Chain A
Amino acid sequence: MATFRIKRFNPEKQPEPYYEEFQLDIPSGATLLDCMNQIKWTLDGSLSYRMSCRSAICGSCAVKANGHALLACQRQAEHIIDNDETITLEPLGNMKPVKDLVVDFTPFWDKINKVKPYLEPKEAPPEKERHQSPQEFRLIDDSSTCIMCGACYSDCNTLEVDDNFLGPAALAKAQRFVGDSRDSQTLERVKELSEPGGIWDCTHCGECVERCPKPARPFDRIKEIMTVALDKGVTNNVGARHAMSFFNSVKRSGNLNENRIPVESMGFFNIPGLLSLVPVGLRMLLKGKVPPVIHHSIEEVDDVKRIFKELDQ
């Protein structure tokens, strides 16, 4: 007998959410969604959640189980039960609950819409299909598997502190077109995606890759956009400068020059930006957290240089 501890919320009845426990024998081979349905259909019909296809393609049934977002239909219940024979179910994060496990997807879709999620073709269509090689197809193969379930959006650490961030799903969708050989707007796209709230605001925690139920793996796609942006010379922004400063510092000395990176990221002629660093610097100084003024290379710096040289070739 397993315990399903479910976060309940019904704004018509009471303003605060609460947890309710249900006991259920997990039938062999049952998915988490099968169990949720058993609870709804035999124990409490008022439990609300979304579901539709049962085969991990419609993206409706994403919920948080034991603290992490997943697709309920895709996972065997037995595989996610914790040591106390309990599965805790909560609504997705970073979105407002509507009722029980149902959340409001409006901000999610607003952000998808912001990345111009449609092909802007290079020329008028030919009589038949446009040609695209299997290699070119592969560049958009993974991002096009996204099912818009919101699991990545739910568990994104940046979104938790920054509403303005486009978020992993929208950025993965953006890569779908940045990487498409048929699209004409690659440069404009990467320019816009390099603005605040875009690719450079990702903290590289990789949570979205862990949560993604498909091969879309948003952070991998974000890295691909970053590469295209740098290749196209879209470097006049804090994020790109930060990445390049990071790169150059390691290339030169094998480790990070923590005094240089913030200054190079802001840009040497960006006076307001540099001034904005002053209060942080002062606070660090007072707490004794300032890195040494003279930056030393690591002992094996020649090895590092050799690695860079090899990579260059």
Chain B
Amino acid sequence: MIQHDVVIIGAGLAGMRCALEVSKDLNVGMLTKVYPSRSHSGAAQGGIAASLGNSEPDTWEEHMYDTIKGGDFLNDQDAVEEYVKAAPRIIYELEHMGCVFSRTPDGKIAQRSFGGHSKPRACFSADRTGHAILHALHEQLMKNAESVKIYNEWYMHALIVDGDRCNGVVVSNIQTGEVEVIQAKAVVFATGGYGRIFKITSNAFASTADGVMAALDVGIPMEDPEFVQFHPSGLYRQGILFSEAARGEGAYLLNGKGERFMETYAPSRMELAPRDIVARAEQSEMDAGRGVDGKDMIHLDLRHLGKDRIMERLPQIRQLGIDFLGIDCITDCLPIQPTAHYSMGGIPTDKFSHVILDEKGTRMNGFFAAGECACVSVHGGNRLGTNSLLDAVVFGERAGKSVLEYAVGIDYGNVNEGQEKARVLEKFEDVFQRDGSESYNDIRDEMKEIMMSHCGVFRDEERLKVCLETLKGLQERFKKGKVTDKGKVFNTEIYEILELGNMLSVAQLIATAALRRKESRGGHFRTDFPKRDDENFLHHSMVFATPDGLEIKPKPVIITKYQPAERTY
């Protein structure tokens, strides 16, 4: 049995920032199913928010209000306040670590505009900000190599719990197929999002729901799963991201008639309204037959920005357009459509990154979560661009500090190694023994299709019911899937199957919570209930897996400074 004081699952921004903190005093194992440098945090392009005020005066209060208004007042305001207050320090620390930032002429960190932010507060490194931070953190871990053991290409299968205490995880080495138990005094999940359940998504193949589902399996609820963000500028059909930074720098959105249609939907903020509003505007245009060439396509027009600005500030997305479409955005418009991008919901935590067990905030001992997999909730119903990198770093650090407070000086809990291993080995065996009459590929495609069309940008009761019915059928077929590879060495097929199982489950949670929330708020829009309903739904959804199926309980929203107001832009 492997032992570490603390085991962290996931090596993106949250996981690595946490590891740096915890390794100051404790021995850390950090597990990733890819490599740290390949984590999906690296795909974030446009920036990381902080009220540095480097190009215009700015305050944390404004950042706080923008975040809450952007989140349609579902954010827990006490957490938001601490989060935006921490932002400048967090950015300076990243800079001190060596993170590469674009600069103002006088050498400060440059900042640009972003959707929903009233001030230019996105610190950036050209259009690869996530990549820059990811590598800076990774560099610090390489510097402290003796204090953090990194398990590259290992997969986390299950949490080990004893009552209300978490004692470790069951994992396997993808390269060898060996199942192992890691005993730990504390476990931190930084496992990211799960956008892969949608047909069009900006997310990496690794963004499945492993963490959320492992937590659900031990009785932890999931908070606000119905809130999924669709990013307005996914590459047409592929879904990969063209940064909001393009619009931050001044790009236009045009419909099939060549009109800047945002005039109709958000006249004061235009293309820089929050993502939920822009994505819905695009979908409405396309649904009304005003997509480009009558297709589900909108044009992102950067041409007026000029070659110099594009080359300096948006070189990577220009290259993406050339590589994937043969289109150079200096001379032509890029075809885009809304793409599933970010999960506001996740494993519920308090503002100290402790995972909580219920709507009352009871803590699970020794279990922490940070980053996209967690729901604090600082983003409420809709996250503003550049707030996710900030979330990952702020709460990665916080989780680290909380872990140190919790785990220094305590003993390991009990772990029955043989029993825990057997549980996962049985899971493998179960997959290998299936009768093979169904294709996992078909099941995955059908899940992605139904989630996109019936549980996507626009939802209604009828479609959600069909969606749930379809998912139920897919769950049944999943039990009869066909396996080709029964080997142990780098068997990627078996892991894709396990991930699909997790995705089918999280899809059901999302659709169930979406059906119950009979209002429209942030990223969740019901065409049959198009208004926000604070009287009945100003609360978080806590979804529990019970023997009788999913059960949803409300959890109050913490409101400190800003009373819910009408949200117009």
A contact set with B: CB distance below 8 Å: 10-13, 29, 31, 40-42, 44-46, 48-60, 74-76, 98-100, 102, 105, 112-113, 116-119, 121, 125, 127-134, 136-137, 140-141, 144-145, 147-148, 177, 180, 182, 215
Considering the chains assembled together, what is the distance between the CA atoms of A59 and B106 in angstroms? Answer: 34
- Known A129-B92, A131-B106, A144-B125; 7 more pairs at CB < 8 Å: A48-B490, A48-B492, A53-B205, A55-B43, A57-B128, A76-B324, A132-B107
Considering the chains assembled together, what is the distance between the CA atoms of A128 and B319 in angstroms? Answer: 33
Contact B103 A52 (CB under 8 A): no
Closest to B130 in A: A57
Chain A min CB distance to B23 (Å): 14
Residues of B within 8 A of A12 (CB): 487-489
B426 on the A face (CB < 8 A) = no
Contact B492 A49 (CB under 8 A): yes
Contact A55 B145 (CB under 8 A): no
21 A-B contacts (beta carbon < 8 Å): A45-B483, A48-B485, A48-B491, A48-B492, A52-B34, A52-B38, A53-B205, A53-B240, A55-B202, A58-B39, A58-B42, A74-B323, A74-B324, A98-B175, A99-B490, A118-B140, A128-B52, A129-B101, A131-B108, A134-B107, A148-B35
Considering the chains assembled together, what is the distance between the CA atoms of A215 and B140 in angstroms? Answer: 23
Considering the chains assembled together, what is the distance between the CA atoms of A50 and B204 in angstroms? Answer: 12
Q: Contacts A98-B490, A117-B139, A134-B105 hold; do A57 and B96 have CB atoms under 8 A apart?
A: no
Closest to B109 in A: A129
Q: Contacts A60-B38, A182-B98 hold; do A119 and B488 have CB atoms under 8 A apart?
A: no
B414 on the A face (CB < 8 A) = no
Residues of A within 8 A of B466 (CB): none
Residues of B within 8 A of A49 (CB): 492
Residues of A within 8 A of B532 (CB): none
Considering the chains assembled together, what is the distance between the CA atoms of A49 and B38 in angstroms? Answer: 14
Contact B37 A119 (CB under 8 A): no
Contact code string B14-35 (vs A, CB < 8 Å = 1, else 0)? 0000000000000000000011
Of A102, A105, A121, the contact of B490 (CB 8 Å cutoff): A102
A-B contact count (CB 8 A): 165
Closest to B317 in A: A55
Contact A53 B43 (CB under 8 A): yes
Closest to A11 in B: B489
Residues of B within 8 A of A136 (CB): 103, 107
B contact set with A: CB distance below 8 Å: 34-35, 37-40, 42-43, 52, 91-92, 95-98, 100-109, 125-126, 128, 131-132, 135, 139-140, 142-143, 145, 175, 202, 204-206, 237-238, 240-241, 315-316, 319-320, 323-326, 439-441, 482-485, 487-493
Q: Contacts A45-B493, A118-B143, A180-B98 hold; do A54 and B240 have CB atoms under 8 A apart?
A: yes
Chain B min CB distance to A126 (Å): 8
Considering the chains assembled together, what is the distance between the CA atoms of A46 and B315 in angstroms? Answer: 37
Residues of B within 8 A of A140 (CB): 100
Considering the chains assembled together, what is the distance between the CA atoms of A258 and B208 in angstroms? Answer: 61
Chain B min CB distance to A70 (Å): 11
Chain A min CB distance to B448 (Å): 12
Contact A59 B205 (CB under 8 A): no
Chain B min CB distance to A274 (Å): 40
Considering the chains assembled together, what is the distance between the CA atoms of A52 and B128 in angstroms? Answer: 17
User: A-B pairs with the 6 shortest C-beta distances?
Assistant: A119-B98, A131-B107, A45-B484, A46-B485, A41-B441, A125-B96
Contact B241 A55 (CB under 8 A): yes
Considering the chains assembled together, what is the distance between the CA atoms of A216 and B492 in angstroms? Answer: 30
Contact B204 A52 (CB under 8 A): yes
Chain B min CB distance to A2 (Å): 19
Chain A min CB distance to B220 (Å): 26
Contact A31 B42 (CB under 8 A): no
Closest to A12 in B: B487
Residues of B within 8 A of A99 (CB): 489-490
Residues of B within 8 A of A118 (CB): 98, 139-140, 142-143
Contact A55 B35 (CB under 8 A): no
Chain A min CB distance to B32 (Å): 11
Considering the chains assembled together, what is the distance between the CA atoms of A121 and B97 in angstroms? Answer: 8
Q: Contacts A10-B487, A12-B488, A182-B98 hold; do A59 and B37 have CB atoms under 8 A apart?
A: yes
